[in-house]
Amino acid sequence: MELVTLLQILDSSVRLATPLLFACLAGLFSERAGIFDIGLEGNMLAAAFFSAAVAALTANVWIGLLAGMGASLALSMVHGLASITFRGNQLISGVAINFLAAGMTVLIAEDWFSQGGRTPSLSEFGPNARFTPITLPYAEEASGMGPLGQIYAELISGHSILVYVGFLTVALTWFILFRTRFGLRLRAVGENPAAVDTAGVSVVGLRYSAVAICGILCGLSGAYLATGLQAGFVKDMSSGRGFIALAALIFAKWRPWYALMACLLFGFLQALSLRPDAVESIVQMKVPGQLLDALPYILTVVILAGFVGKAIPPRAGGEPYVKER
């Protein structure tokens, strides 16, 4: 395989891994606090629609981004209300949010735009209606300076701002969870909420904070899907990425840096499905396109079936906290 082809595949891997990374980190915050959120898929879908719709109506991608984050945050608060305040079943709440988002987005899109449940292409509304690639300094000059220059020009440069924000969010997540008092309390409330409550810290407040952070990160994920990776919203455009992000979270054993590597792996598999010619040149045989398309989902099933080693979730995960009288 030529270096140019490899860099193109890796470049696609980074782009495709970004929405998974945001969603995976969102689940990380939520589950570390003891709230299992199966509704990542629904949050992403709602954020994707509202970011694309508002960006189309205002011709401003930043307003669209805020709208997407607001929609995802609202659904996360619904999940928090059902799971924390009313102590409902967290899995059922998440599944309900997924169904709600899947139906609501298509219904509103048809009412607003009458295009079969999709939004118009954001390319029609000018360059400010979507996130465009950023060319880093000296990228053009570096492209002719050997392999390292090509890596800088083709792989590191040329992504939208949300891609770089995604990678910075990994470091920020690690710092918050493992180097701050808030992070220590957040991890503690997912392991032993009674001990946190005894120390005089609000379990409900911490869990709502985690759910809110989860909503914001899912909003970034969905907004990138509709305004960065693509130029508009289409029905069910998240395509199971929320569930893949959950699988990546389990694969990463609820750790930020491992989550980055897991999401890059899933992104690489998705990128391979877009370049069957490169795969066939390596294996020297024709590979069915359907098999390449299914690779990320096959790996998801393998991970969830427990074939990658034992992953121990937070001990209080999925259980509502009832304060002792």
The per-residue pLDDT for 308 is 63
Distance (Å) of CA 74 to CA 23, 50, 65, 106, 322: 16, 12, 14, 18, 24
List the chain domain ranges: 11-133+140-239
Of 158, 168, 169, the C-alpha closest to 131 is 158
For the chain (length 325 residues), average pLDDT per consecutive 10? 82 95 97 94 97 95 97 97 94 95 95 92 90 89 83 91 96 96 95 92 95 97 95 92 92 92 91 82 77 80 70 85 75
Of 77, 323, 63, the C-alpha closest to 218 is 77
The per-residue pLDDT for 1 is 55
The per-residue pLDDT for 306 is 65
Are 55 and 232 a contacting pair, CB within 8 Å?
A: no
The per-residue pLDDT for 109 is 95
The per-residue pLDDT for 289 is 73
Are 51 and 65 a contacting pair, CB within 8 Å?
A: yes
d(CA 250, CA 109): 34
Helix (H, G, I), strand (E, B) or coil at 159: strand
Q: What is the DSSP code (8-state) at residue 153? A: I
Q: What are phi and psi of 187, to 5 degrees?
A: -65, -35
d(CA 190, CA 316): 5
DSSP H/E element including 210: helix 203-224
The per-residue pLDDT for 309 is 66
d(CA 90, CA 33): 13
Prediction pTM value: 0.94
